[in-house]
Structure 1
Amino acid sequence: MRSMLGSGLRLQLALFAGAGLAILAGASLNIQGYHGEQALIAVAAGILAWAGGVLSKRWKIAAGLAIGAIALTAVEVRFSGSFFWINLAGILLLGLGGVVGAIGYEKLTDALRRRVTELQSLNEELEEQHRMFLAATEDPGLTFKDMGALNTATSRQTGAGFCCYYLLGAEGRQFVPQLPAAGFEGRSPQLLIVRKEGGDPLLTPLEANQEYYAEDPDRLQHVARLFPIGFKVTNALVQPMLMNNRLGGFILLGNREGGFGPDDKRLVLTLAVRAAIHFGSQTAVSQTQEELARYTILNDIAKQASGLPFEEVMKLVIERARELVPYDACRVAIFGEDGTYTMLGGSPVASSIERGPLGEVKNGGKVVIRHLLTRSDGLFSGLDTGSETAQAAEALAPISGREGVFGALCLGRKGGIAFGDKDIPSLQELGAIAGVAVENSRILQRVSGQAFKVSSALDSLAEISEALTATTKGTATLEQKTLEVAARLAGGTHALLTRTESGGKNRIVNAVGFGREVVGLEIANGQGMVGAVMLSRQPLAVPDVHDSFDLANPPDLAAAMVRGGLCVPIIHQQALWGTLAVFTADRKQWAEADLRVIATLANQAVVALQNAELFDGSNRMVWELQNLMGGLTAVTSTLNLEEVLEKVLASAAKACEAQIGVLALDERGKLEVKAAFGSDPETARRLALELGGEICQDVFASGKSFMHYADKARSSGPLDPQAVLCVPLTLRGKPIGVLFLANYVAGKPFSEDHKRVVTELGAQASVAIDNARLFREREVVVLESLTAMAALVDAKDPYTAGHSKRVTAYALQIARQMNYAAGNQDAWTRLERGCLLHDLGKINVPDAVLAKPDRLTDEEFDQLKKHPVVGYEVLKNLHMLTDELVIVRSHHERFDGKGYPDRKGGGDLPIIAYIAAAADAFDAMTSDRPYRRGMSLELALAEIGKEAGQQFHPDVAEALLDSAGKGEFKIIPQESLFKEAPVVGAFENPTA
């Protein structure tokens, strides 16, 4: 673009140069042979000839001026006729110079105006592309239950005339529109019945994950069955949504003006993928945390707590209560029969209940919510607020038994985050379940005998299995719980859980009692007890594994100091899922009941583990989406390159919980640090480009990610991390930089999930980085063009040549004196640009008004007064300009509200407007005009002081006077065109 602008300018400059040469030559020939009064006549003739050339398009005026020039030349003949033809040639050259100069000026002005129009078009195109990118990465903030809002949002984002999401029905026989649809004029789209026989022209490409687009009648007829009768369709796009590798729904859009282009289809694809993730995960996450917690508490406390002492039962209640109602501290109050209470595990000294909150709990049997508490109010939960005035909230839930309320669960939260009405049902149920568990515990403690122990074990097994089948607390948690229960039921000290893998191997996925090194160990068919069960698929009970060398390894049971062993297969859907093994420290004769209990537990646990794996996958997908959307929202919220780089890095580091991060971009073949997270830039540079330089270079060159974890750091310094993750940043298949993340905490390696999220975030962020770079380049081009136009405006008026630059210099000096926007370079840049562009609107003022040597008439002055609004209208759509627009529109406003164009004053305008106004007025006062000389510094300062609080902002006037008093504020010298103009003591009707 710059080269195009430069080539255009060269033609105009050539015309200006030709005009200048013609004027110089003509002037020289015109005065040939004359001096004194004769020369003055020759000069007047030359001026008339030049003016006639300038006004050549107005031929009547130009002809009159030319005749006048020739007449004056003829008058000169009486002085000396020998130079007449030479003088006449000079007159002709001067006229020619005026014609060429006028043509050059007109072409230059037209070229600049065309360039502004082109730049505005480019700006609109980039904004449209940016809008589409934001729409594709926008977090809609919808729950996907409000389908009307979702349909409307998608229609708006894609520019479609109508939109409706379809989801596959529960029986899989039809696709159901999710109402209300958008753009259907109050009517509803139709169901889509799945055809079992024969190909469906619409569903066949959708099932292959291909879009269906129709504009012509032949293709539109296949989607016509989706619309109500009489509904007019000009184009339609059907985008499939795959859920669990099958068609789970689609988006129906259409009637988009101009149809759907490639960019529009990519946007719809992105929206469809995002919606599919949300809809597909609804089944796994439909069970709420409250339901899961209540079910788990019911089984793990009321049933599994059987046989535990009272204190352990309450400890279990406190631990599991957090799953129902989050809290920061929790204690249990036990009520005495004498109207007192004691805190479990606290001071043995009883306190009186009286009529306080615990009295309400005991007497009313209801949950008591306490808000806005401090230490002085008394905190039953034992919450440490950190200070005397810090606020907290508490919930007191009754623990009820057969004989009434005998205690209270006291939960506390910091920061005044109150418990709400939605917590009351959970708290009531939690207290009731705790009461039942305590009652059961007390009953079991009073009962003894071997028969009861066996019955209790079997009952615990059944209830534990039921709880495991329903819970989705996570795979690792369920594996650990299964092993702990198995060991307890079988009286063992060690337990193993294995999972079948390809190639006839089993891998240990969790263990109790063994060292962590056994987790991940692979066991082949026939190796040890586990391998034997894998082959036979039958339970195996061994009183002492040391009696058989083949069964004692792997794992090394002798090293684990175990003797008795029981291993059962886990069968799921008629296939070997894995094994469950329990070991005792002593030799044991296993009973049939032991086999039955462990086998039942194993086969019940596999259902829960399968559910947990699905739930973990859903959670992982949601986690990835949340981090990706959060990062993309952050990086697309600005077009400032530095901010984009910082937000990209911060989002990646947050997603991975990295302690230090570095973002480096390729600059002329070398990686340079552009953003640092968690450390200073120099340390970050040394870490990534010196210590990790080879890693970053390899990742940049290969385009492949690198991930590493060291079990033990060589040192504790910032240049020796234990975990490293480095991913490439690519744009259109080409590397542009790398993201380098590091962790120093033992046991916190980066995972494949981290690498996948950061890689995806980096790929999307590369587009944001490219947009920011493009925006910066466009901003530079636009501002250079505007600055050139502003300079041209100054050049149009010989009386104000250099005016904008002087106003800028004066304004910056005033701002320095006022300590304006200290440390904010962007604010200073906006002030400087605004002053340079403040008179841009004069491009619309006729040259005759700008160049008029006399005072302006009221009509002409009114015309001139429009230039702030004209300049504002030219610039207002350039979004990189903010404060600049205020300066352009308001630099002729007065503090007392009597200025123009908006007659604003006082606090209606920011200080930058008053700074620019003072600088503009000062230059007008100190510049020469044909009808007066510019003021001296002393007179101008006196005028500023007199008008402080009226024309000028008092603070701005004071800063200008203070700066002048220090000798820092001076009149900028300028060449005077009117040295003979009269000196006056004030200024009137300034054109600047």
Structure 2
Amino acid sequence: MAAAMRGRGLSLQLGLFAGAGLAILAGASFNIQGYRGETALLAMLAGFFAWGAGLLWRRWQIAISLGLAGIALTAVEVHFAPAAFFGINTAGLLCLGLGGVLSAVAYEEVTEEMRLRLHDLESLNQELQDQHRMFLAATEDPALNYADLEALSATTMRQVGASFCVYYLGTSDGRQYVPQLPGAGFGAGRPQPLLPRKEGGDPLTNPLEENQEFYAEDRDRLSAVARLFTPGVKLVNVLVEPMLMGSRLGGFLVLGNKEGGFDPDDRRLAQTLAIRAAIHFGSQHVVTQSQEELARYALLNEIAREASGLPFEQVMTMVVERARELVPYDSARVVIFEANDTYHILGGSRVASDLAKSPLAEVKNDGKVVLRRLLTQGDGLFSGLDPGGETAQAAEALAPITGREGVFGALCLGRKGGMGFGEKDIPALQELGAIAGVAVENSRILQRISGQNVKVTTALDSLAEISQALTATTQGTYALERKTLEVAARLGGGSFAILTQVSGESAQRVIAAVGFPPALLGTEISNGQGLIGAVALSRQLVAVPDISGSFDLAAPPDLASLGIHAALCAPVVHQDALWGTLSVFSREKKDWSEDDKRVLSTLGNQAVVALKNAELFDSSQKMVWELGNLMDGLTEVTSSLEIDEVLTQVLVSASKAVEAQIGVLALEEDGRLVVRAAHGTDAETAHKLALDMGGEICQDVFKRGAAFMHYDPKQEAAAGPLDPRAVLCVPLTLRTAPIGVVFLANYAAGKPFSEDHKRLATELGAQASVAIDNARLFREREQVVLESLKAMAQLVDAKDPYTAGHSDRVTRYALTIAKEMRYASGDEIAWKRLEQGGLLHDIGKINVPDAVLSKPGRLTDEEFDLLKRHPVVGYEVLKNLHMLTDELVIVRSHHERFDGRGYPDGKAGDELPIFAWIVGAADAFDAMTSDRPYRKGMSIEVALAEIAKCRGTQFYPSVADALLAAHRKGSFRLIPQVSLYQDAPVVGAFENPTA
């Protein structure tokens, strides 16, 4: 706008000067018209007076006098020339006067324009000086020691022009921000820690957490900043710049009392310095935190690996010994919780203690770490610590040991002294308890299957192996590389930049590029070859203003083909070793300045620090991610021995680990793959996706035993569940032989499976194959045992021809009653256990002598007591078979009564699960309707009447109702049986025979 107005002003000035010239030329011509010789001199003098009058028109008194003088001289001239020219001469005087006016106006315009332009030049010079000051500050020596906070604060204060400066950093728990003393510029007072306000928000930290600066000049805002200082610090103006580290506020920079206040340029400079400080402080924090986390995980993995497969007490002993390396202590013991709310100390007295009134109750019930402080011997020390006297103080940490079924013990650590353990110890204690629990559960499962204590490769072995191989992910470093190039490219016009990294001993590999073809990525440039190779060889910055004059530096890459004429390349050095190069290019010929060179070198050396830290952080995070996913997956997979549950957990864990949307698990059965589990979709769609659409992939992976991975980035959108964008298929192998495959799919754009995903899924599949095989073996063993038990039950029935088929009939009656009650709808396992419980319910009669079972006369009291013991005998026979659960309850409780008068335990009502009452009713009904030597079986009508009569006394009400309802509907019928004693007497249904 100003330039346009100045353009129009220049045109006006030129017009005024041109008009003045024309007026003066015309006036001079008219003024001397008709005069010769000496008279012409008078005419010229009159014209000069007229021009002067116009020139001094703003001083009208002088202008009028000069004008009148000119006219008077013209009148005198009339005596020497014909009067006919007087009018022409007067017109000439007027033109000369007009020319003088125009000359004066033009002169004034020109001088004003010159004054304005001089003022603009002075302002521009000041602005350039300020910008140069900020530039020098922003490109400060990258070797500046950030550990010397006093020097750092002083440098920052000087660069911004403030009167004082201090950096604040947040504590690890985020509860407060601590000044990095001594700061700079403080006299009487000094900075002090800041505790952010929780309720109602903090006026200072709230904007900082949103990455907004806080500037205070007025009284209200200065009061919010005054909390940062002790009395004695006078505040005129204060600028606070946030320092974000990741996604959280890691600290802030405080500057104050700048004369004239902080202008926008000062604020931008302070923001740049705060960001640079945040990068350095954040990198140091991340590296320290990652190293501590890796050390802790390595120790936990080592503990888990050494404990794998050991007996329970040896596992606990080893955990206690190694725990000292993670959480130092003076004494330690392990407490084991019992089922009856008691506990005992491992390795000590087996006498159980009451848990209810103990601090251990919180550990068992809530599963959390309990810290006890300021203890004495009288408070009771679970860790076995001797404080050193009755009044000496101690501290304890009680950490839960968690297994598949919850908290089963506690790790009790003790320290001398009142305070002892702190909140920072809780995560390590929780992880230690979890590792101990996993190791114990693995040992228990292995011993349960094999019957002996063996050491196997477990999930923790895999964790330990993976923790040895740290490979960097590219997401974090890629973002830093792109940002570095985007900033660097601005030096050359924002179009071209290349970042290389040392590859081998004599080459550079292109790892990022801006403006170049994608094919350039990954290209290797030998040392000494082209501009980049020359810099790598000499380790000196090279500036090329015109690449056409340096043919030996023009390729590779081929700069001329891209229209590049100038180049600047700097070596990137890390810890005195060449890390790579950073290059920028321009389409125009360019004389690179010292500032350009300094900026590129600074950027390269700062970027390599961030990149190395990002590589370390990404590597650490990736390892933690892999270990976490693998540990979670294997913990879930090995937590069950039910084959269907194991298959489902394998698939869910694999899908979660690789972030798959749909997963399918297929096992080889009779020479073909069969879908056994699906995740994220139904079984039919899973079969179509994996075995129809992806059948060739699954078959090839199964035959070759090698994983397959594919991603189609060109596909715009997935047409449906049978059209995924990304596919990952891994084999399930056991002892080098394939047993199945896991097929995983993703449908979202930009979410391909990675090599990390493939490796993780393959490792999980290999470990899961062991769990699948164990579950298969367990099922086969279970089937063998159950078939043997059923045969034994049939043998019991066969001991007495009058009870032949009794267990089978009771089972059929029980299933009919359960169906009427809609028992456990959809739960096949519950129905299976009900059926097996019915078949095994009288297995305890194997201990009853044949003479008692088939005695035709009255049983003596001793014989009847012996017969009544068969539920307990059956329970004792079966209780050590861990695959039996509901069945054990049925065997022991099928002779209990609803009113509590049954045997053997006298349980009543809801003290027993409903399935026990179902089998009890079925058993009683068959007993009533079967013939015995001592009595004749009842008719179904009489038996049903007895059921109705005893509803609520002997029989559970809803079970009796269901039996009667099923009979009314016709589904409950009397199962025919051949009577072996037609003449047996009719007696009471539940009396001692022949009583």
The two structures have a TM-score, normalised by structure 2, of: 0.55
Root-mean-square deviation (CA, aligned residues, Å) is: 4.6
Q: Aligned pair in 2 of structure 1 residues 849, 950: CA closer, same or farther (>3 Å)?
A: same
Query: Which amino acid in 2 is paired with 1:578?
Result: G
The alpha carbon displacement at 1:915 in A equals 0.6
SS of aligned partner of 1:935: coil
1:39-54 equivalent positions in 2, closer than 5 A: none
The alpha carbon displacement at 1:770 in A equals 0.3
Aligned to 2:706: 704
Aligned to 2:948: 945
The alpha carbon displacement at 1:785 in A equals 0.2
1:907-922 equivalent positions in 2, closer than 5 A: 907-922=910-925
Quick check: 1:778 aligned with 2:781?
yes
Cα offsets for 1:149-199 (capped at 9, x unmatched): xxxxxxxxxxxxxxxxxxxxxxxxxxxxxxxxxxxxxxxxxxxxxxxxxxx
1:396-475 equivalent positions in 2, closer than 5 A: 399=214, 401=216, 406=221, 430=249, 433=252, 443=262, 445-446=264-265, 474-475=476-477
Aligned to 1:369: 198
Aligned to 1:694: 696
Quick check: 1:743 aligned with 2:562?
no
SS of aligned partner of 2:812: helix
CA distance in 2, matches of 1:758, 1:682: 24
Cα offsets for 1:378-414 (capped at 9, x unmatched): xx999xxxxxxxxxxx9999957576764999xxxxx
The alpha carbon displacement at 1:729 in A equals 1.5
Cα offsets for 1:536-570 (capped at 9, x unmatched): 33212223556666655555657877654321112
The alpha carbon displacement at 1:518 in A equals 4.8
CA distance in 2, matches of 1:505, 1:497: 13
Aligned to 1:755: 758
Aligned to 1:591: 593
CA distance in 1, matches of 2:723, 2:245: 48
CA distance in 2, matches of 1:627, 1:458: 39
Aligned to 2:869: 866
Aligned to 2:674: 672
Selected match of 1:721 from 721, 724, 729: 724
Q: Residues 250 and 278 of structure 2 are in contact (CA less than 8 Å); yes or no, is this contact kept in structure 1?
A: no
1:132-211 equivalent positions in 2, closer than 5 A: none
Aligned to 2:985: 982
Point out where structure 2 has 5 or more consecutive residues left out of the alignment: 1-145, 161-167, 176-192, 226-243, 288-474
Identity %, equivalent residues: 61
Q: Aligned pair in 2 of structure 1 residues 532, 744: CA closer, same or farther (>3 Å)?
A: farther
Q: Residues 283 and 613 of structure 2 are in contact (CA less than 8 Å); yes or no, is this contact kept in structure 1?
A: no
Q: Aligned pair in 2 of structure 1 residues 446, 697: CA closer, same or farther (>3 Å)?
A: closer
The alpha carbon displacement at 1:365 in A equals 8.6
The alpha carbon displacement at 1:593 in A equals 3.4
Q: Residues 245 and 282 of structure 2 are in contact (CA less than 8 Å); yes or no, is this contact kept in structure 1?
A: no
The alpha carbon displacement at 1:500 in A equals 1.7
Q: Residues 401 and 436 of structure 1 are in contact (CA less than 8 Å); yes or no, is this contact kept in structure 2?
A: no
Q: Aligned pair in 2 of structure 1 residues 480, 863: CA closer, same or farther (>3 Å)?
A: same
Query: Which amino acid in 1 is paired with 2:252?
Result: I
CA distance in 2, matches of 1:432, 1:468: 13
Quick check: 1:832 aligned with 2:835?
yes
Q: Aligned pair in 2 of structure 1 residues 461, 621: CA closer, same or farther (>3 Å)?
A: closer
Q: Aligned pair in 2 of structure 1 residues 447, 669: CA closer, same or farther (>3 Å)?
A: closer
Q: Residues 503 and 524 of structure 2 are in contact (CA less than 8 Å); yes or no, is this contact kept in structure 1?
A: no
Greater displacement, 469-478 / 656-665: 469-478
CA distance in 2, matches of 1:323, 1:441: 37
Cα offsets for 1:344-382 (capped at 9, x unmatched): xxxxxxxxxxxxxxxxxxxx99633259x9xxxxxx999
Q: Aligned pair in 2 of structure 1 residues 406, 902: CA closer, same or farther (>3 Å)?
A: same
Q: Aligned pair in 2 of structure 1 residues 798, 429: CA closer, same or farther (>3 Å)?
A: closer
The alpha carbon displacement at 1:653 in A equals 1.4
CA distance in 2, matches of 1:844, 1:439: 100
Aligned to 2:733: 730
SS of aligned partner of 1:735: strand
Selected match of 1:853 from 839, 852, 856: 856
The two structures have a TM-score, normalised by structure 1, of: 0.55
Selected match of 1:638 from 640, 661, 668: 640
Query: Which amino acid in 2 is paired with 1:367?
Result: P
Cα offsets for 1:747-774 (capped at 9, x unmatched): 3222221122111111111100000100
SS of aligned partner of 1:664: strand
Cα offsets for 1:594-637 (capped at 9, x unmatched): 32342244234434433332332222222211111111001011
Q: Aligned pair in 2 of structure 1 residues 594, 774: CA closer, same or farther (>3 Å)?
A: same
Q: Residues 303 and 463 of structure 1 are in contact (CA less than 8 Å); yes or no, is this contact kept in structure 2?
A: no
Aligned to 2:797: 794
Aligned to 1:766: 769
Query: Which amino acid in 1 is paired with 2:658?
Result: C
Aligned to 2:22: none
Q: Aligned pair in 2 of structure 1 residues 600, 401: CA closer, same or farther (>3 Å)?
A: same
SS of aligned partner of 2:692: helix
Q: Residues 476 and 615 of structure 2 are in contact (CA less than 8 Å); yes or no, is this contact kept in structure 1?
A: yes
1:58-457 equivalent positions in 2, closer than 5 A: 367-370=196-199, 399=214, 401=216, 406=221, 430=249, 433=252, 443=262, 445-446=264-265
CA distance in 1, matches of 2:970, 2:544: 102
Q: Residues 960 and 969 of structure 1 are in contact (CA less than 8 Å); yes or no, is this contact kept in structure 2?
A: yes
Q: Residues 252 and 274 of structure 2 are in contact (CA less than 8 Å); yes or no, is this contact kept in structure 1?
A: no
Selected match of 1:685 from 673, 684, 687: 687
Q: Residues 486 and 494 of structure 2 are in contact (CA less than 8 Å); yes or no, is this contact kept in structure 1?
A: no
CA distance in 2, matches of 1:484, 1:753: 29
CA distance in 2, matches of 1:934, 1:902: 28
The alpha carbon displacement at 1:697 in A equals 2.4
Quick check: 1:962 aligned with 2:962?
no
The alpha carbon displacement at 1:927 in A equals 0.8
Q: Residues 397 and 428 of structure 1 are in contact (CA less than 8 Å); yes or no, is this contact kept in structure 2?
A: no
Q: Residues 365 and 398 of structure 1 are in contact (CA less than 8 Å); yes or no, is this contact kept in structure 2?
A: no
Larger radius of gyration: 2
SS of aligned partner of 1:665: strand
CA distance in 1, matches of 2:732, 2:540: 53
Query: Which amino acid in 2 is paired with 1:724?
Result: V
Q: Residues 545 and 567 of structure 2 are in contact (CA less than 8 Å); yes or no, is this contact kept in structure 1?
A: yes
Q: Aligned pair in 2 of structure 1 residues 900, 515: CA closer, same or farther (>3 Å)?
A: farther
SS of aligned partner of 1:725: strand
Aligned to 1:498: 500
The alpha carbon displacement at 1:321 in A equals 11
The alpha carbon displacement at 1:586 in A equals 5.0
SS of aligned partner of 1:707: strand
Aligned to 1:155: none
CA distance in 2, matches of 1:755, 1:745: 18
CA distance in 1, matches of 2:684, 2:698: 16
CA distance in 2, matches of 1:771, 1:430: 50
Greater displacement, 663-672 / 805-814: 663-672
The alpha carbon displacement at 1:877 in A equals 1.2
Aligned to 1:928: 931
Q: Residues 895 and 953 of structure 1 are in contact (CA less than 8 Å); yes or no, is this contact kept in structure 2?
A: yes
Q: Aligned pair in 2 of structure 1 residues 745, 924: CA closer, same or farther (>3 Å)?
A: same
Q: Residues 468 and 605 of structure 1 are in contact (CA less than 8 Å); yes or no, is this contact kept in structure 2?
A: no
SS of aligned partner of 2:781: helix
SS of aligned partner of 1:746: coil
Selected match of 1:542 from 536, 541, 544: 544
The alignment covers a number of residue pairs equal to: 612
Q: Aligned pair in 2 of structure 1 residues 973, 696: CA closer, same or farther (>3 Å)?
A: same
Q: Aligned pair in 2 of structure 1 residues 882, 560: CA closer, same or farther (>3 Å)?
A: farther
SS of aligned partner of 1:443: coil
Point out where structure 1 has 5 or more consecutive residues left out of the alignment: 1-292, 308-316, 327-363, 374-379, 383-393, 410-424
Greater displacement, 468-477 / 918-927: 468-477
The alpha carbon displacement at 1:640 in A equals 1.2
Query: Which amino acid in 1 is paired with 2:198?
Result: I
SS of aligned partner of 1:856: coil
CA distance in 1, matches of 2:478, 2:871: 69
CA distance in 1, matches of 2:479, 2:542: 26
Q: Aligned pair in 2 of structure 1 residues 628, 990: CA closer, same or farther (>3 Å)?
A: farther
